[in-house]
A = this chain, B = another copy of it.
Amino acid sequence: MADPTLFEFLHTEMVAELWAQDPDPGPGGQKTSLLVLEGMGFRVGQALGERLPRETLAFREELDILKFLCKDLWVAVFHKQMDSLRTNHQGTYVLQDNSFPLLVRMASGLQYLEEAPKFLAFTCGLLRGTLSTLGVKSLVTASVAALPSCKFQVVIQKP
């Protein structure tokens, strides 16, 4: 019994429960539960960020911090590394996971693509929260083109 399984099961239940409680916002509206999940991810990310080994807090190059998320944070939470990291060198980073664990259990048909955002909101918050603890303010969004691959876009907010 691996731990990633426990985290994934708990995450699945949490998403299902919050989604079920949340009334449909109608066309163009956004489900409140997405914000709730993002907020939970943010606080878990903040807390995890505080538990990071101290030496990692020494780097202050933006790119080093992003590399840290792709490697150390991802391994700690998902037991794998992010597959690629790209940047425009102007504060925007695209982190791609070709087989994102929280999506791999989903059927891969196109008709399930619209279900994907609810499985990404928590992790967007997780990235934003960890960055926050490392002193970096950001906006994080996610997109899926083909399951179970997904991209997280991190835009650094300059002070």
A binding-site residues for B, Cβ under 8 Å: 1, 3, 5-7, 9-11, 13-14, 17-18, 21, 36, 40, 43-44, 47-48, 51-53, 72, 76-77
Contacts of A76 in B (CB 8 A): 1, 3, 6
**CB–CB A48/B7 < 8 A:** no
Query: What distance in Å separates the Cβ of A118 from its nearest Cβ neighbour in chain B?
Result: 15
Contact yes or no, B48 A1, CB < 8 A:
yes
A3/B9 contact (C-beta < 8 A), A14-B40, A17-B40, A21-B21 known: no
A6-B7, A7-B6 are known contacts. Are A44 and B77 too (CB-CB below 8 A)? no
Distance to closest chain B CB from A1 (angstroms): 4
**Cα(A11)–Cα(B47), bound, Å:** 13
11 contacts between A and B (CB under 8 A): A1-B51, A1-B72, A3-B76, A5-B48, A6-B77, A9-B44, A13-B44, A14-B14, A17-B36, A17-B40, A21-B21
CA A5 to CA B1, docked complex, whole Å = 17
Q: 10 nearest interchain CB pairs?
A: A3-B3, A1-B76, A13-B40, A9-B44, A9-B47, A1-B51, A14-B14, A13-B43, A10-B10, A10-B44
